[in-house]
Chains A and B, each alone.
Chain A
Amino acid sequence: MAEEEGNNKDLKVIVFQLKDEEYAIEVDHVQSIERMQTVTRIPRVSAHIIGVMNLRGVITPVVDLRRRFGLEEKAYDEATRILVLSKDNIELGLIVDGANDVIDITTGDIEPTPEVVGGVEEEYLRGVVKLEDRLFTLLNLDKVLHDRSTIGV
Chain B
Amino acid sequence: MSNSEYLDVFIEESQEHLQTVNDSLLQLEKEPDDLSLVNEVFRSAHTLKGMAATMGFEDLAHLTHTMENVLDLIRNEELEASSEILDVVFDSVDDLEEMINDIAEGGSGKRDIQQIADQLEAIQRGEAPSAAGSAEVAAANAQTEVGGGAQNLGESYDEFELTVITQSKEQGFSPYQIRITLDENTMLKAARVYMVFEILEEAGEVIKSTPPVDELEEENFDHEFIVTLVTKESKEDLNERINRISEIQNIEIILIDPEELGENSEAESEPKTEAQGQSSKDSAKAESPESSQPVQQLEPQQQKKDDKDETTKKPSEANKTIRVSIERLDVLMNLFEELVIDRGRLEQISSELDNNELSETVERMSRISGDLQEIILNMRMMPVDQVFNRFPRMVRSLSKDLGKKVNLDIYGAETELDRTIIDEIGDPLVHLIRNSIDHGIETPAERLDKGKSEEGTLVLRAYHSGNNVFIEIEDDGAGINQQKVINKALSNGVVTQEEIEKMSDEQIFGLLFESGLSTADQVTDVSGRGVGLDVVKNTFESLGGVVTVNSEQNVGSIFSIQLPLTLSIIDVMLVELQKEKYAIPLSSIVETAIVNKEDVYSAHNQKVIDFRGNVVPLVFLKNVFEVPEAGIEDEYYSVVLVSKGEKMAGLVVDSLVGQHDVVLKSLGSYLTNVFAISGATILGDGQVALIVDTNALIK
Q: Which residue of A lies closest to B669 (CB)?
A: A90
| B624 near A43: Cβ-Cβ < 8 Å | yes
| A152 near B682: Cβ-Cβ < 8 Å | no
B687 → chain A closest CB, angstroms: 6
Bitwise, A10-47 to B at CB < 8 A (1) or not (0) is: 00000000000000000000000000001011111100
How distant is the Cα of A54 from the Cα of B668 in the complex, in angstroms? 12
Interface presence of B6 (CB below 8 A): no
Bitwise, B657-668 to A at CB < 8 A (1) or not (0) is: 000000001111
Q: Provided the pairs A41-B580, A54-B682, A59-B668 are in contact, do residues A152 and B673 lie with their beta carbons within 8 angstroms?
A: yes
Interface presence of A2 (CB below 8 A): no
How distant is the Cα of A153 from the Cα of B676 in the complex, in angstroms? 12
| A43 near B668: Cβ-Cβ < 8 Å | no
| A42 near B670: Cβ-Cβ < 8 Å | no
| B682 near A57: Cβ-Cβ < 8 Å | yes
Interface presence of B603 (CB below 8 A): no
Measured between beta carbons, the chain B residues less than 8 angstroms from A57 are 338, 341, 682
Q: Provided the pairs A38-B687, A59-B666 are in contact, do residues A43 and B627 lie with their beta carbons within 8 angstroms?
A: yes
How distant is the Cα of A79 from the Cα of B625 in the complex, in angstroms? 31
Q: Could you say which of A43, A53, A54 has the most chain B C-beta atoms within 10 Å of its C-beta?
A: A43
Measured between beta carbons, the chain B residues less than 8 angstroms from A90 are 668-670
| B626 near A54: Cβ-Cβ < 8 Å | no
Cβ-defined partner of A59 (8 Å) among B338, B627, B672, B688:
B688
Cβ-defined partner of B671 (8 Å) among A41, A53, A58, A61:
A61
Q: Provided the pairs A54-B682, A57-B338, A59-B680 are in contact, do residues A42 and B671 lie with their beta carbons within 8 angstroms?
A: yes
How distant is the Cα of A51 from the Cα of B338 in the complex, in angstroms? 22
Measured between beta carbons, the chain A residues less than 8 angstroms from B626 are 43-44
Q: Provided the pairs A40-B687, A54-B687 are in contact, do residues A152 and B675 lie with their beta carbons within 8 angstroms?
A: yes
- The residues in A between 85 and 120 inclusive whose CB is less than 8 angstroms from any CB of B are 89-92
Interface presence of B686 (CB below 8 A): yes
Cβ-defined partner of B677 (8 Å) among A42, A58, A91, A153:
A42
Q: Provided the pairs A57-B338, A59-B680 are in contact, do residues A45 and B686 lie with their beta carbons within 8 angstroms?
A: no
Interface presence of B117 (CB below 8 A): no
| A45 near B674: Cβ-Cβ < 8 Å | yes
Interface presence of A49 (CB below 8 A): yes
Measured between beta carbons, the chain B residues less than 8 angstroms from A58 are 665, 668
B394 → chain A closest CB, angstroms: 34
Q: Provided the pairs A54-B682, A57-B338 are in contact, do residues A40 and B690 lie with their beta carbons within 8 angstroms?
A: yes
| A59 near B665: Cβ-Cβ < 8 Å | yes
Interface presence of A140 (CB below 8 A): no
| B338 near A151: Cβ-Cβ < 8 Å | no
Q: Provided the pairs A52-B680, A57-B682, A59-B680 are in contact, do residues A40 and B689 lie with their beta carbons within 8 angstroms?
A: yes
Measured between beta carbons, the chain B residues less than 8 angstroms from A45 are 671, 674
Measured between beta carbons, the chain B residues less than 8 angstroms from A53 are 688
Measured between beta carbons, the chain A residues less than 8 angstroms from B687 are 38, 40, 54
B330 → chain A closest CB, angstroms: 16
Q: Which residue of B lies closest to A146 (CB)?
A: B670
| A151 near B680: Cβ-Cβ < 8 Å | no
17 contacts between A and B (CB under 8 A): A40-B680, A40-B687, A41-B580, A42-B677, A43-B627, A45-B674, A51-B688, A52-B667, A52-B690, A53-B688, A54-B687, A59-B665, A59-B682, A60-B668, A90-B668, A90-B670, A91-B670
How distant is the Cα of A18 from the Cα of B316 in the complex, in angstroms? 70
Please list the residues of chain B having a beta carbon within 8 angstroms of any beta carbon in chain A: 338, 341, 580, 624-627, 665-677, 680, 682, 686-690
How distant is the Cα of A59 from the Cα of B666 in the complex, in angstroms? 7
A132 → chain B closest CB, angstroms: 36
B21 → chain A closest CB, angstroms: 42
B669 → chain A closest CB, angstroms: 5
Apart from A44-B625, A57-B338, what 13 extra A-B contacts exist at CB < 8 Å? A49-B671, A52-B667, A52-B668, A53-B688, A54-B688, A58-B665, A59-B667, A59-B668, A61-B668, A91-B668, A145-B670, A152-B673, A152-B674
Q: Could you say which of B671, B672, B676, B680 has the most chain A C-beta atoms within 10 Å of its C-beta?
A: B671
Measured between beta carbons, the chain A residues less than 8 angstroms from B665 are 58-59
A4 → chain B closest CB, angstroms: 34
Q: Which residue of A lies closest to B622 (CB)?
A: A43
How distant is the Cα of A153 from the Cα of B665 in the complex, in angstroms? 22
Measured between beta carbons, the chain A residues less than 8 angstroms from B341 are 57
Measured between beta carbons, the chain A residues less than 8 angstroms from B338 are 57
How distant is the Cα of A29 from the Cα of B69 in the complex, in angstroms? 64
A54 → chain B closest CB, angstroms: 5
How distant is the Cα of A107 from the Cα of B675 in the complex, in angstroms? 41
Measured between beta carbons, the chain A residues less than 8 angstroms from B667 are 42, 52, 59, 61
Cβ-defined partner of B670 (8 Å) among A54, A61, A153:
A61
Q: Provided the pairs A40-B688, A40-B689, A41-B580 are in contact, do residues A89 and B674 lie with their beta carbons within 8 angstroms?
A: no
How distant is the Cα of A38 from the Cα of B579 in the complex, in angstroms? 13
Measured between beta carbons, the chain B residues less than 8 angstroms from A150 are 670-671
A120 → chain B closest CB, angstroms: 20
Q: Sorted from nearest, which 9 A-B pairs have the closest CB atoms?
A: A43-B625, A40-B688, A152-B674, A59-B680, A61-B670, A44-B675, A152-B673, A59-B665, A90-B669
| B669 near A89: Cβ-Cβ < 8 Å | yes
B690 → chain A closest CB, angstroms: 7
Q: Which residue of B lies closest to A89 (CB)?
A: B669
How distant is the Cα of A152 from the Cα of B341 in the complex, in angstroms? 28
A52 → chain B closest CB, angstroms: 5
Measured between beta carbons, the chain A residues less than 8 angstroms from B677 are 42-43
A140 → chain B closest CB, angstroms: 15
B470 → chain A closest CB, angstroms: 30
How distant is the Cα of A47 from the Cα of B621 in the complex, in angstroms? 19
A59 → chain B closest CB, angstroms: 5
B673 → chain A closest CB, angstroms: 5
Q: Which residue of A lies closest to B692 (CB)?
A: A43
Measured between beta carbons, the chain A residues less than 8 angstroms from B673 are 151-152
